[in-house]
Amino acid sequence: MVRRRGIYEVNVLGKSLTCLFCQGNQFRHREVYMDLQPLGQKVTNQLTFQSLTCTSCGDNRMFQEKEILHQTSEKQVSSIEYTEVIQE
């Protein structure tokens, strides 16, 4: 499990992420792994989620990170971008 230290402002698919409950835009990050076994199948898929917890109200959201094609540079980039918030 990967855990980024600190607090982040997060962009998902190029849009700034805001909390649905308090409109906060600062989050703590944690990476979560889940094993999913589709019904009737023997294979297990491991899925990775980026768990983001609002620093003001504690609401938690999970995203699946993907590679997307950046519109201007045409490179593969992550769908989730993190900008660390420097605290004084």
Binding-site ranges for Zn ion (CB under 5 A): 19, 21-22, 24, 54, 56-57, 59
User: Which residue, 44 or 56, has its beta carbon nearer to Zn ion?
Assistant: 56
CB of 60 to Zn ion, least distance (A): 10
User: Which residue, 4 or 61, has its beta carbon nearer to Zn ion?
Assistant: 61
| CA nearest to 53, candidates 10, 12, 2 | 10
d(CA 73, CA 63): 24
Bridge partners (DSSP) listed for residue 55: none
d(CA 55, CA 60): 10
User: Which residue, 56 or 83, has its beta carbon nearer to Zn ion?
Assistant: 56
Do 27 and 53 touch, CB atoms closer than 8 A?
yes
CB of 18 to Zn ion, least distance (A): 8
